Amino acid sequence: MAADDVVESERRGLERRVEMLERELRELEKAAAVMQATLNGLVSTMDSRHKAFEAGQALILKSLDTVEKAQIKQENDLKMIAAAPQDLSKVVFSPKVVIAIISGVLTIVAGQMASTWGMRSDIRDFGTRQTMQATIDEKTLKLREERDAAFKQSVDDIKKQQQLGQLEMQNLRETVLNQRRSP
C-alpha cells in the first residue's frame, strides 16, 4: 500500500508539472502569435517602403530623361554660341531648364530619404523578434522533452507496479498451493 501511495503521489506531482508546462506553452504560443502579427506588420511596412522607393526611382528616371533632354538642348545652344561669340553676361537659362534641374535634385534627395527613413530601427526590431522566436522555439522543445520524459517515467512506474502486482500474485498462489499440500 505504501508503494501505491508513493506512485500515486509521484503521478500527481508529474500531472501538476505537466499542467504547469502546458500553461507555459500556452503563454509562449500567445507570445509567438503576437510576434507573428508584429512580423506581418513589419513585412507590410517594408513592402510599402519598397513601393515608395520604386516610385521614387521612377520619378528619378523621369527627371533624368528631362535633364538629358535639357542637356541636349543646352549642348545645341552651346554649339550655336560657339559658332557666334556672345557676351556671357547675356546668357540666361530658360525657366524649363531651371525647373528640370531643381526637380532632378529634389527627386534624388527625396528618393534617398524615402529609402532609408526608419530602416535601421526596423531591421533592429526584426533581429530582436527573430531572437525571441528562437527562444520560444527552444523553450517549446524543452517543454516537449520534459513532457515526454514525464510520460515515460509514468509508463515505467506503471510497468513496475504491474510487475510488482504479478510477483505478489505469484507469491500468493505459491503460498496457497503450499498450504494445500501440507495439511
How does residue 118 score in pLDDT terms, banded at 50, 70 and 90?
low
Mapped onto helix, strand or coil, the DSSP state of residue 128 is helix
Residue 119 has pLDDT above 80, yes or no: no
- Alpha-carbon distance 20 to 42, whole Å? 33
Q: What share of the chain has pLDDT > 70, as a percent?
A: 91
Residue 173 has pLDDT above 60, yes or no: yes
**Is residue 86 packed enough to be buried (19+ CB in 10 Å), middle (13-18) or exposed (0-12)?**
exposed
- Alpha-carbon distance 156 to 61, whole Å? 73
Q: Report residue 21 as a C-alpha cell.
A: 508546462
Residue 117: phi and psi, rounded to 5, are -65, 115
* Cβ atoms 68, 101 nearer than 8 A: no
Q: Report residue 84 as a C-alpha cell.
A: 557666334
pLDDT digits (tens, 9 = 90+) for 11-57: 888 888 889 989 988 998 898 888 888 888 888 888 888 888 888 88
Is the model's pTM score more than 0.75? Answer: no
Q: Please name each of the domains of the chain with its CATH number.
A: 2-177 (1.10.287)
* Cβ atoms 107, 45 nearer than 8 A: no
- Alpha-carbon distance 6 to 155, whole Å? 15
Per-residue model confidence (pLDDT) at position 129? 84
Query: What does pLDDT average to over the chain?
Result: 84
pLDDT digits (tens, 9 = 90+) for 57-96: 888 888 888 888 988 998 888 787 777 656 667 767 788 8
* Mean predicted confidence (pLDDT) in 118-143: 82
* Mean predicted confidence (pLDDT) in 2-14: 80
Per-residue model confidence (pLDDT) at position 142? 92
* Cβ atoms 114, 56 nearer than 8 A: yes
